[in-house]
Structure 1
Amino acid sequence: MTVLVRTVAVGRPREVPGPRDGDLTSTAIWKEPVEGPVEVGPENLAGDEQADRVSHGGPDKSVYVYGEEDLAWWRGELGALDDQVFGQNLTTVGYDLRDAVVGERWRVGTAEFLVVQPRTPCFKLGMRAGDRSMPRRFTAAVRPGVYLRVTTTGTLAAGDELHVLDRPAHGVTMAEAFAIVHHDRDRAARLLEAPDLPAGWHAWARERLAHHR
């Protein structure tokens, strides 16, 4: 089946009311779809930024992808849903992203990417959704989407095909990695089989194993 990028969206940080009364927090989770070609830089799309570069930016979180299949599931749970509520840069159609493997190589337009990790939700997802329980519900759903590392800069646009160029044999998927960290921690050793996971994931797995010897 052909996999397509349905939407490309970008956003810049804005100040919004924080989780406590009177607080303000900076976030770029509000992203708007854009038309036409978008440049893919080394660590983000043109016009896109992250408010918190420690938690949300950097090469291993350059582009966030969420699937129409996941959005459809959430509509079944919640009813009408803003398509951009998860703050994704790319919305794909035709690929269950839960099955994407750590270390997969993708080409979209003239840019190439590496699938590196699933998303771990924070309180800003609850703010964007207008529901403080949303991070907890997101964790329970095990539909984390995909963070990409840019391996070849270029351009992409809504309507482009997503080509999976390579899938590593270890088979550690986005859903499996996410579930291990949040629900099935006794399987931490499995994460060490996926060399393209960021170092922090491997450090967590080794610490978990060390504490349970």
Structure 2
Amino acid sequence: MKLIAVNIGKPEPIPAKSALTGIYKRPQAGPVAIDPLGLEGDAVLDRKHHGGVDQAVYVYFQADYDWWDAQMGSAFAPGTFGENLVISGIDGRTVSVGDRFAIGPVVLEVTCHRTPCSVFAARMGDPKWLKTFYRAGRPGAYCRVIAPGAVEAGMDVGYEPFAGEQVTIGELLALEGQREIARDTLERALRAPVHYKMREDFEARLATLF
């Protein structure tokens, strides 16, 4: 597995939106530091929905980009989906909460899927993009930083699957908007190191079932 690109964004305007956004990520040459809150120099402007320790780094997978290229008939450049890192050598559909990626000194742990938003649709220039993205089931993974350090494109990536029962990021994406989630699904997700907001939501849901 390889680190294909390291992307950061600066505050920029986006069509049909009044606020600035950091979704326009561009590949960086040379090392970029990663700390518990993300990549050095990366703009995170909507703190309510983005950033934080359990959503510090957004990873997308080259295999999934290759799939999109085939589906859409055009090549997507690294950073198009607003991701910080692009990793090759693994199918993103198999990635689960608790999986870890080691890149030099940096260790990242998957916490949840990416939820597409209206800013993402505006960035793609397609009002139907959210439905398209949901249907694809290839959301990419948000990660917390277990060990900080610096990374750069071309580095090898180690992969350690979660030792417990797996809950894939695609499964979590499919739960979006569901008013009722089965008890065993909630319990299985809570046995994994999910994003703290998701944990609070799932614990509250589970409490109503007893």
Question: So what's the TM-score if we normalise by structure 1?
Answer: 0.88
Q: Which amino acid aligns with 1:135?
A: L
Structure 1 segment 38-77 matched on structure 2, within 5 A? 38-77=32-71
Q: Which amino acid aligns with 2:194?
A: L
Partner of 2:95: 100
Provide structure 1 residue ranges, at least 5 long, that are not aligned to the other structure: none
Q: How many equivalent residue pairs?
A: 207
The percent identity for this pair of structures is: 32
* Alpha-carbon shift at residue 143 of structure 1 (Å): 0.3
Query: 1:183 and 1:5 mapped to 2: Cα distance?
Result: 34
Partner of 2:29: 35
Query: Is the 8 Å Cα contact of residues 138 and 144 (structure 1) preserved in structure 2?
Result: yes
Query: Is the 8 Å Cα contact of residues 38 and 56 (structure 2) preserved in structure 1?
Result: yes
Over residues 165-210 of structure 1, what are the superposed CA-to-partner deviations in whole Å (9 max), with x where a residue is unaligned? 3522211111122223357954464243233112322333345456
Query: 1:209 and 1:178 mapped to 2: Cα distance?
Result: 19
Query: 1:123 and 1:145 mapped to 2: Cα distance?
Result: 17
Query: 2:177 and 2:90 mapped to 1: Cα distance?
Result: 23
Query: Is the 8 Å Cα contact of residues 186 and 206 (structure 2) preserved in structure 1?
Result: no
Query: 1:172 and 1:184 mapped to 2: Cα distance?
Result: 19
Judged with a 3 Å threshold, the aligned counterparts in structure 2 of structure 1 residues 35 and 172 are, in CA distance, closer, same or farther, namely: same
Query: 1:195 and 1:71 mapped to 2: Cα distance?
Result: 27
Query: Is the 8 Å Cα contact of residues 188 and 205 (structure 1) preserved in structure 2?
Result: no
Query: Is the 8 Å Cα contact of residues 102 and 168 (structure 1) preserved in structure 2?
Result: no
Judged with a 3 Å threshold, the aligned counterparts in structure 2 of structure 1 residues 11 and 163 are, in CA distance, closer, same or farther, namely: same
Query: 1:110 and 1:199 mapped to 2: Cα distance?
Result: 25
Query: 1:192 and 1:145 mapped to 2: Cα distance?
Result: 23
Query: 2:2 and 2:38 mapped to 1: Cα distance?
Result: 20
Confirm or deny that 1:164 pairs with 2:162: no
Query: 1:206 and 1:115 mapped to 2: Cα distance?
Result: 19
Q: Which moved more, 1:142-151 or 1:185-194?
A: 185-194
Q: Which amino acid aligns with 1:132?
A: P
Q: Which amino acid aligns with 2:55?
A: K
Confirm or deny that 1:111 pairs with 2:81: no
Query: Is the 8 Å Cα contact of residues 172 and 191 (structure 1) preserved in structure 2?
Result: no
Judged with a 3 Å threshold, the aligned counterparts in structure 2 of structure 1 residues 136 and 207 are, in CA distance, closer, same or farther, namely: farther
Query: 2:164 and 2:141 mapped to 1: Cα distance?
Result: 18
* Alpha-carbon shift at residue 27 of structure 1 (Å): 0.9
Judged with a 3 Å threshold, the aligned counterparts in structure 2 of structure 1 residues 163 and 104 are, in CA distance, closer, same or farther, namely: same
Q: Which amino acid aligns with 1:199?
A: Y
Q: Which moved more, 1:190-199 or 1:31-40?
A: 190-199
Query: 2:47 and 2:94 mapped to 1: Cα distance?
Result: 27
Question: So what's the TM-score if we normalise by structure 2?
Answer: 0.89
Judged with a 3 Å threshold, the aligned counterparts in structure 2 of structure 1 residues 143 and 185 are, in CA distance, closer, same or farther, namely: farther
